[in-house]
Amino acid sequence: MATTFTPRVFSGIQPSGGLTLGNYLGAIKRFVDMQGAEFETIYCMVDLHAITVWQDPADLRKNTRELCAGFIASGIDPESSVLFNQSQVPEHTQLGWIFNTVARMGWLNRMTQFKDKAGKNRENSSVGLFAYPALMAADILVYHATHVPVGEDQKQHVELTRDIAAKFNHDYGVDFFPVTEPVIEGAATRVMSLRDGSKKMSKSDPSDMSRINMTDDADAIAQKIRKARTDPDALPSEVDGLKDRPEARNLVNIFAAMNDSTVEAVLADVGGKQFSEFKPLLADLAVAKLSPISSEMARLMEHQDEIDKILARGAERARALAAPILKQTYEIVGMVGA
């Protein structure tokens, strides 16, 4: 009989810069929605992933604490969710090594994130950047997580996690790891750059004008939306009218996701308006939704010792879940003393 797994959500964000609106709408806001009765929820700052590309140590420390503040200010309750920093739970890297032996080179070679991030500099990229998806599989499976809310860009990595679980189960003749479901839902699973509708909004984009940072003040948010690239046409009233208009689609998606609405409903309201009318509405909405979060983040950042305590307590709770699963994995693999 197939094993039944506890419904458990895991997801993580890299402290590789300040949080963006993409991270908020594509990930954190949805993490908050999944918190509650149906699932146990486990959320992580994945600092070990962040260092697969160079991070200044002082920035990494600051960004990790700021990310923790961002989670809490957005509504993650560190009591009802397990909230922690990856490097404080060594079971992730221990299982990650086992998965390095399960994942195949050919699988990792197909990962588009590696191709994008390594670019032409493949020979000079870190081994960690290449092996990133095997560690991500360990992040998820060390908790036997059944569901992983992510943005569209992470879908391929979650599929690889499923392949690793299936191969491990098959090779060792067990039904030990669940085949995890990616949860990619809502209007903003891929928020695009404000400067280029074909590029994902990203923390590490060199242009600050390409993204809204969660720490931006009202003026900065309004200015970035005002200057966001658009086309000269008015907004359509139907979704079909957004075809081949990536910048228009992006701003409408952002509006819908921020307003907990749908693209259809937004277009029913704003169809026919010029961007000169729509952008101020979007800016007002963004400021209304993001300002309380950014001021709470700033307040929390004044109490870093509290943040560190929350992370230490979260790591303790995470280890209590992860350690028995790692021990059983070692037993299955044949490690003496497991």
Which residue sits closest to ligand AQP, CB atoms considered?
A: 26
**Binding of ligand AQP at residue 20 (CB under 6 A)?**
yes
Q: Which stretch binds ligand AQP (CB under 6 A): 72-80, 90-98, 184-192, 329-337?
A: 184-192
Per CB under 6 A, 147 contacts ligand AQP? no
> What's the order of all strands across the beta sheet hosting 40-45?
81-85, 40-45, 8-13, 147-149, 181-183
- Among 62, 115, 117, 120, the one annotated catalytic: 117
Quick count: other Cβ atoms within 10 Å of Cβ 281? 15
- Long-range pairs of 29-38 with CB within 8 A, sequence gap ≥ 24: 29/74, 29/257, 30/149, 30/183, 30/185, 30/186, 31/71, 31/76, 31/81, 31/149, 32/74, 32/75, 32/76, 34/9, 34/147, 34/149, 34/183, 35/75, 35/76, 35/77, 35/80, 35/81, 36/80, 38/7
CB of 160 to ligand AQP, least distance (A): 14
The verdict on 26 binding ligand AQP (CB under 6 A) reads: yes
User: Catalytic annotation on 200?
Assistant: yes
Contact between 200 and ligand AQP per CB under 6 A: yes
Is-contact 6 235, C-beta < 8 A?
A: no
Concerning whether 309 is annotated as a catalytic residue, the answer is no
d(CA 301, CA 236): 42
Q: Residue 154, interface with ligand AQP (CB under 6 A)?
A: yes
Given candidates 18, 22, 178, 236, which one binds ligand AQP under the rule CB under 6 A? 22
Determine the interface stretch with ligand AQP among 70-78, 97-105, 167-175, 197-205 (rule: CB under 6 A): 197-205
Tell me the H-state helices in 53-126: 57-74, 91-102, 105-109, 112-118
23 lies in the site for ligand AQP, by CB under 6 A: yes
Total binding residues toward ligand AQP, as defined by CB under 6 A: 22
| Residue 203 in the binding site for ligand AQP (CB under 6 A) | yes
Query: Can you give the binding site for ligand AQP, defined by CB under 6 A?
Result: 13-14, 16-17, 20, 22-23, 26-27, 150-151, 153-154, 188-191, 200-204
Q: Enumerate the active-site residues.
A: 117, 200, 203
